[in-house]
């Protein structure tokens, strides 16, 4: 028993240490593996249509690279321009918000707490914006620090498709090979755990990716139609950060409403329009997109997913963000399996039944019923 427990712990420990030590060079390989995993169902479907695995892989990656290239060519210059402009105008926006607080809420605040209350609210508003900007800068810096040893962006763009190509071609063969390593007496259990892990990871990653893309396009389009400054930047940011539960939508809502207040006041109608765009987006996400695309298949509590993303992102940079959800899903599956085995064990069942005549028969009957 001690050897059976020690070996997996040693393997996990070696993997964790290896990930930490090699995190600076793992990004293109992890990104390639993630890309192969996401595209494997498409390759399987093309195979069922009669296309060979090699041909399906070439076709899928060619289309993927073309689409990503077009998006980068079109979107990157616009986003860079808006990011630069937003950074330059941010101090002015903060000052304008403080003035709006004084103009609109000044009388009420003076009645409640006098001039000190108004000054305190204005200082707090500036502190909140400053702390939020510092937190975001620190988090982005940690991502860059965890990935900056990679040869460069060019190496990521070159190595990632190559890794994805070879993994996608050999994906089924690799799964069969790993399956052959499992002892036959444990193969059924390991296969069940593997299916549950795949169900959890694919349910969250593939579904959440589609949700984030839709929300980014919806917010950017809606805010642009409303005439909001930096609409594309705010909308795409809110959509892409939506993979962190609640953070993306709340961040986009606060930033967009703050910009709308500065831009449109005293016209409350346009401020409410901007607020309505996010409310509609949240309604669509919560009642249509997430139930259909993500559903309850992931088995990941939002708080656990949020913790995993922030923790792994801080430790391993962008590599940690790519690994956070799969590792969190796997840990969740293994934890549920361990609890299930514990509840079937004599340790749990004996503790639930008082000792005495007939206790052993009750334990056996209860174990059979729960199975």
- Which of 330, 348, 350, 328 lies closest to 340, judged by CA? 348
Query: Percentage of the chain surpassing pLDDT 90?
Result: 4
pLDDT of 218 reads 92
Answer yes or no: is pLDDT of 144 > 70.
no
Look at residue 298 and tell me whether its pLDDT is greater than 50: yes
Please give the C-alpha separations between residue 7 and each of 1, 4, 13, 246, 338, in angstroms, as whole numbers. 10, 6, 10, 39, 16
**3-class SS of residue 328:** helix
Cβ-based neighbours of 159, under 8 Å, separated by 6 or more: 28, 29, 32
Question: Between 111 and 196, where is the model more confident?
Answer: 196
Which pTM does this prediction carry? Answer: 0.66
Q: What is the pLDDT of residues 42-57, one digit of tens each?
A: 899 998 988 888 999 9
Range with the lowest mean pLDDT among 246-250, 323-327, 366-370? 366-370
Tokens coding 265: 């006041």
Region 253-262 average pLDDT: 85
Which band of pLDDT confidence, cut at 50, 70 and 90, is reported for residue 276? very high
Average pLDDT, the chain: 75
Position 151 pLDDT exceeds 50 = no
- Of 19 and 152, the structure prediction assigns the larger pLDDT to 19
Would you state the pLDDT for residue 364? 47
For residue 70, the model assigns a pLDDT of 85
CA distance 321 to 61: 23
Mean pLDDT of 64-83: 79
Tell which wins on pLDDT, 153 or 166: 166
**Confidence at 132, pLDDT banded by 50, 70, 90:** low
Mean pLDDT of 126-153: 53
Confidence of residue 71 (pLDDT cuts 50, 70, 90): confident
The first and second tokens of residue 295, run together, are: 């559903």
Mean pLDDT of 236-258: 81
Confidence check: pLDDT of 95 > 60: yes
Highest mean pLDDT among 52-56, 318-322, 350-354: 52-56
Q: DSSP per residue over 51-77, as a string?
A: --HHHHHHHHHHHHHHHHHHHHHHHHH
| Residue with more model confidence, 151 or 155 | 155
The HSE-up count of residue 329 (CA atoms within 13 Å, CB side) is: 22
């Amino acid at each position: 028993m001690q050897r059976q427990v020690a070996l997996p712990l040693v393997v996990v420990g070696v993997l964790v240490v290896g990930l930490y030590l090699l995190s600076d060079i793992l990004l293109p390989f992890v990104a390639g593996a993630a890309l192969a995993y996401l595209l494997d169902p498409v390759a399987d479907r093309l195979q069922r249509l009669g296309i060979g695995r090699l041909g399906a892989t070439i076709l899928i990656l060619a289309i993927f690279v073309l689409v990503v290239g077009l998006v980068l060519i079109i979107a990157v210059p616009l986003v860079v321009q808006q990011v630069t402009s937003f950074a330059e105008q941010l101090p002015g926006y903060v000052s304008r918000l403080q003035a709006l607080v004084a103009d609109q809420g000044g009388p009420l605040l003076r009645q409640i707490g006098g001039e000190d209350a108004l000054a305190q609210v204005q200082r707090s508003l500036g502190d909140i914006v400053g702390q939020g900007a510092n937190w975001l800068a620190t988090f982005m810096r940690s991502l860059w620090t965890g990935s900056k040893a990679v040869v460069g962006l060019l190496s990521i763009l070159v190595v990632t498709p190559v890794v994805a190509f070879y993994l996608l071609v050999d994906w089924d063969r690799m799964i069969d090979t790993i399956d052959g390593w499992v002892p036959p007496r444990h193969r059924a259990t390991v296969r069940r755990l593997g299916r549950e892990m795949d169900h959890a990871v694919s349910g969250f990653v593939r579904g959440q990716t589609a949700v984030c893309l839709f929300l980014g396009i919806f917010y950017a389009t809606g805010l642009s139609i409303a005439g909001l400054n930096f609409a594309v930047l705010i909308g795409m940011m809110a959509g892409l950060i939506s993979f962190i539960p609640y953070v993306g939508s709340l961040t986009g809502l606060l930033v967009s409403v703050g910009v709308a207040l500065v831009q449109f006041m005293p016209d409350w109608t346009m401020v409410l329009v901007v607020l309505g765009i996010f409310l509609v987006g949240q309604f669509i996400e919560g009642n249509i997109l997430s139930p259909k695309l993500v559903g309850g298949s992931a088995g990941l509590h939002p708080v656990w997913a949020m913790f995993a993303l922030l923790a792994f992102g801080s430790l391993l940079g962008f590599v940690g963000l790519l690994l956070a959800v799969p590792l969190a899903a796997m840990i969740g599956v293994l934890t549920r399996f361990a609890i299930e085995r514990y509840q079937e064990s004599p340790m749990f069942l004996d503790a639930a039944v008082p000792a005495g005549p007939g206790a052993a028969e009750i334990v056996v009957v209860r174990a059979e019923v729960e199975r």
